[in-house]
Structure 1
Amino acid sequence: MPDRIDAWTHIFPKAYFAKLQTVANAAGPLKRWLELKPLYDLDHRFRLMDSFAGYRQLLTPSMPAIEDLTDGQAAVDLMRLMNDGLAELVSRHPDRFQAFAAALSLHDIEAALAEIARAETIGAVGFQLCTHMRGVPLDDPRFQPVFAEIARRHLAIWLHPIRGPLPDYPNETKSRYEIWWCFGWPYDSSVAMARLVFSGLFDRHPDLKIITHHMGAMIPYFEGRIIQGWGLEMGSRTPPADAGLLPGPLQRRPEDYFKMFFADTALSGAVGAMRCGLDYFGADKVVFASDFPFDAEGGSYLVRETIKALDALQLPGAVRHKIDAGNISALIRRG
């Protein structure tokens, strides 16, 4: 087993990146992607990886979400192109890439279900889902077959936030100061987690493995509010006329479900947040991840600072091994 498996690193396979440059909706972010060479240049990526001993990566698709780029057959074709590229990368470079989580487009549920089956045959260990599909929440009933099929196959889900510059106040048209990214993405993840919990997802699929980006976002820090507001006082703030907005019966306490998620260490090196998340989820539910290569150094900063933050916690060797490689290795094994 490698010393460290980075469980959430983004990449553009070569053919997919070439196609992406012809898609009109991709024109906005294209400049940054072209400047971030490790996203598509393997030689550059490998040089950065070599600065960390015993380091391998699990590949996930890079943003933007396919659903935001196009729809119909074009979205299906992009999904397949991405997944074929990820499978090829893992096959060609097993010493670099441990595995891959495939892309799914949720526009066409039947096509998504077919791709789940196809992607598994080419080596996918799970799927990256965004926290909503063009504003449609993941607890929408139309998506239930997707979760059911992933659970049936004992595959995992990488839950990625996706939020554009939505306004922070009703009288504005766009978020200022990139607040939508710094605070908006953790909020987006937390909302998606809550919606999945209260939709009864874990009652239907108690063994479903969902990895949440950025250490479960806001959830660990707001444990007390979850227990008080959703465990002891659920409904006390909702008038009878809005009773339909409350959840139906669940088999467990709300706070128990949130601890069923997995979390990653992609916290940009924040030691206190790392400690908080590890205390909340426990040593068996946290996996090493950096969000490579989305930093000004093309990934080196995030990997280095994540390692430094874990070092600062002075964890027992057995716990550190679980986080660095053991937990993700066990999670992507079938069964």
Structure 2
Amino acid sequence: MPEIIDATSHIITDEVLDTLEKVHPTDELSSLRNAPRMSDVEGRIEYLDKNGIDRQVIDLAAPMIWQDIDPDNGIEATRVANDEIARIGEEHDRFIPVGTVPFLTDEYVDEARRCIEDLGMHGIQIFSNINGRMLDDDDFEEFYATIDDLDVPLWIHPQLADWHDYDTSHTWIYKMLAWPFDTNIALARLIFSGILDRYENIEVISHHLGGSFPYQVGRIRSWYQTRTEEPELYQNPAIADLSEPLEAYFDRIYGDTAVSSQGESFPLECGLEFFGADNVVYSADYPFGPDKGQYWATEIIPLIEDLDIPEADREKIFSGNIKRLLDLE
């Protein structure tokens, strides 16, 4: 059995909940207290041992807790969260800590740098939109320049957005089905705005195997081709003058295997066909999912083992790709 490294998992501690609750109490925040596994490090190690997982990337759980907060009020909780995750990584060598910044301007840019240079974290998690602002917003340019300079991967986790007028009781449906859509928008805007063109060191790990980006890649290629071939026909093609073919930017996007599978292999196969074996990394989205977060690993690991691919490619997915990305031993 090859080494297995979970490239995307989530954690949050009581210290983070307490700090954020003082300035931005929400139902989403309160609900996290109902699942002790969110912060249970020893239980997490038992989960790793049970499923044969050697190491695990940990980043901050629950993007929704930052919605509608004033950025000035969230910076302390952000620092506490990153300090906590760095501490857990320092105390337990099974964990690989990744920082999180819920906003991409001002002090949060400094916080991203602190995560890497002072806390020794291995990358930065951001969300697919920033309180409804798209990731290619002009105000975020300094953030991308900083990540390019730091030369660490960006994890993109989907975030809710007010695309429709829905009541909070139906939020779960939008997490289930609109999160992949929001991931698509985030990836497309990073490409077609020219951010990935301007900042050549940026590589992206997209949660949930790129949303539905792999399924829609033909549509993406076709629309880009028609708008560049016939700009006179399309009057609003806000497309950067990209210096490389689309595949050059696709090659810097990775997808994790957290496809919420209940035995279906075709989402994983679709993602693998698009990303290629060099750009897929293992994840089961712990501690979320059925059976209190235990279930998805029991489905996804066997699916990867059963894929009709060379053993060398299987080893890349399970650990080789994330080790290369993060320069791990």
TM-score exceeds 0.5: yes
Take 1:133 and 1:54, find their aligned partners in 2: how far apart are those partners?
A: 32
Distance 1:147 1:306 in 2: 33
- Alignment counterpart, residue 246 of structure 2, candidates 241, 250, 254: 254
- Equivalent residue runs for 1:191-202 within 5 Å: 191-202=185-196
Report the AA paired with residue 289 of structure 1. S
Instruction: Report Cα offsets for 1:182-239 as digits up to 9, x if no partner.
Output: 2200000001111111110121112311101111111111122122222244586996
Distance 1:290 1:23, change over 3 A: farther
The 5-angstrom pairing of residues 199-218 of structure 1 reads 199-218=193-212
Contact persistence 1:295–1:301 (CA under 8 A): yes
Runs of 4+ in structure 1 deviating by more than 3 angstroms, as ranges, are 20-25, 172-179, 232-240, 253-256
Select between 187-196 and 256-265 the one with higher mean Cα deviation.
Answer: 256-265
1:211 match: secondary structure: strand
Q: Distance in 1 between matches of 2:244 and 2:286?
A: 36
**Given that residues 25 and 69 in structure 1 are in contact (C-alpha distance below 8 angstroms), is that contact kept between their aligned partners in structure 2?**
no
Q: What is aligned with 1:145?
A: 142
Matched, 1:188 2:171: no
Q: 1:238 to 1:153 in 2, by over 3 A?
A: same
* Equivalent pairs, count: 324
1:128 to 110, 125, 128: 125
Does residue 320 of structure 1 match 2:314?
A: yes
CA distance in 1, matches of 2:113, 2:29: 31
Alpha carbons 2:64, 2:160 under 8 Å: kept: no
The correspondence for 1:289, drawn from 272, 283, 286, is: 283
> Partner of 1:158 in structure 2?
155
- Give the aligned residue type for 2:311: G
* Inter-CA distance 79–283: structure 2 relative to 1 (3 Å threshold): same
Tell me if the contact between 1:295 and 1:302 (Cα under 8 Å) persists in the aligned partners: yes
Work out whether residues 166 and 180 of structure 1, in 8 Å CA contact, stay in contact via their aligned partners in 2.
no
Match status 1:17 vs 2:9: no
- Which aligned pairs between 1:203-282 and structure 2 lie closer than 5 A? 203-234=197-228, 242-243=235-236, 245-269=237-261, 270-282=264-276
Q: Secondary structure at the match of 1:137?
A: coil
Rounded to whole Å, the distance in 2 between the matches of 1:316 and 1:323 is: 11
**Rounded Cα–Cα distance in structure 2 between residues aligned with 1:296 and 1:35:** 15
Of 220-229 and 66-75, deviating more is 66-75
How far is the alpha carbon of 1:134 from its aligned partner? 0.6
- 2:143 alignment partner, SS class: helix
Indicate how the Cα distance of structure 1 residues 323 and 117 shifts in structure 2: closer, same or farther if over 3 A, else same: same
Answer yes or no: is the 8 Å Cα contact 2:12–2:39 preserved in 1. yes
Matched with 1:102 is 99
Structure 1: gaps (5+ residues): none
Provide closer, same or farther for how the CA distance between residues 58 and 248 of structure 1 changes in structure 2, counting only shifts above 3 A. closer
Superposed CA RMSD in Å reads 2.5
Q: Is the 1:14–1:85 contact (alpha carbons within 8 Å) kept by the matching residues of 2?
A: no
1:296-335 C-alpha deviation (Å, 9 max, x unpaired)? 322211211111221221432211111111111110129x
- 1:91-130 deviations in whole A, cap 9, x for unaligned? 0011x21x111011326x2312221221112111111000
Alignment-mate amino acid for residue 37 of structure 1: P
Q: 1:51 to 1:224 in 2, by over 3 A?
A: same
Counterparts of 2:171 and 2:136 in 1: how far apart (Å)?
A: 30
Q: Name the TM-score, length of structure 1 as normaliser.
A: 0.88
Residues 20 and 26, structure 1, Cα contact 8 Å, conserved in 2: no
Aligned-partner Cα distance in 2 for 1:66–1:104? 12
Identity fraction in percent: 29
Aligned residues of 2:63 and 2:127 also touching (Cα < 8 A)? no
